[in-house]
Amino acid sequence: MKRGFTLLEMIVTIVILGILSAGTFVSLQHLYLRSAKSKALSDLSVESQVIVDQISALMYDRVPSSVIGYNGTNNFESIYALNNSFTILEWIGIASEAHKIGAYSGFVDMNASDGATLRLSTFDINQTKLTNSMTSKFAHPLGGLALVFSGAFDDGSIYDDFNTSFGWHRNDNVHDQIWHIQAFNDDGNITLLNKPDEIYEKYYLVDSAYAVARGADVNVSACNVFETISDDTLFLFYDYRPWEGETFCGDRGANGIHTGGTTILSKNVSGFGAGVINGTIYFNLTMNKQIRGSDNNVTISKQKAVY
């Protein structure tokens, strides 16, 4: 007769198999978590790099020294003179697309310009190209364009009356460094609506302001675009003009008309800030991602200088 397994032997065997199975499961779980964390770090690294590159590209085409920090309650400062903590970054954008296709040169003939008629002699305004560029970019023609003389901006200095230079977050429409355009003339010149105290050989055409902020710091529901809003979502606001008394649609403490568009840059940004080091603007963002089965988030921080 063949001898079978005793009950005790079977129990011991089952216990050993259970221990081996548990150990294998734990090892596989650790392997999965390491793999998931590695993939999350890689994804966050790529995503954060794309975001900082996008913001940097937009800020490259800015009016120098127009960048401000804003706290969402009508308090703001030039980024070059920040004394407080601000969570929203804003700047005035140049109509760079129109400049690149030759719609305007950005230079004035000082001798040929006429202060009495408010005519700036530029010779090369191409209304057709300018209109097409603006219509393509913001789906409206030339009405929102304004002019900023480069003046002291080119060397990075600041106007003493910075708070009234661009019309930021004011309800009295003060903007004494941005000039409304009355007409783009058929002869290629520009007629201003008001007479500047001084004119310079170089100018910018400006078409929009831009703002970057997390959902925690703005009222994006006022934009009527997104159904769900997360505090960790990073937004870009555009197509609004402070010199027209406008502010971005998600501005909680706006003194002005809520308007413009908004888009999502990322949904995983836990921190965003900006500042100046040795005269160079920088901004940084922190992103995190929850790994299923882990109590810890994967976190990555990225910083970029803007020249």
Q: How many residues does the chain have?
A: 307
Determine the pLDDT at residue 192: 92
Alpha-carbon span 178 to 167, nearest angstrom: 8
Answer whether residue 56 shows pLDDT above 90: yes
- Which residue carries 């129109």 as its tokens? 98
Q: For the segment 240-252, what is each residue's pLDDT rounded down to a tens digit?
A: 999 998 999 999 8
Identify which has the larger pLDDT, 17 or 178. Answer: 178
Instruction: For 226-276, write each residue's pLDDT tens digit.
Output: 777 789 999 999 999 999 989 999 998 877 888 999 999 998 899 998 888
Distance in angstroms (rounded) separating the CA atoms of residues 192 and 115: 10
Residue 14 has a pLDDT of 74
Whether the per-residue pLDDT at 90 is higher than 90: the answer is yes
Q: Are 283 and 303 in contact (CB under 8 A)?
A: yes
pLDDT at 261: 92
Mean pLDDT of 131-143: 83
Residue 157 pLDDT > 60, yes or no? Answer: no
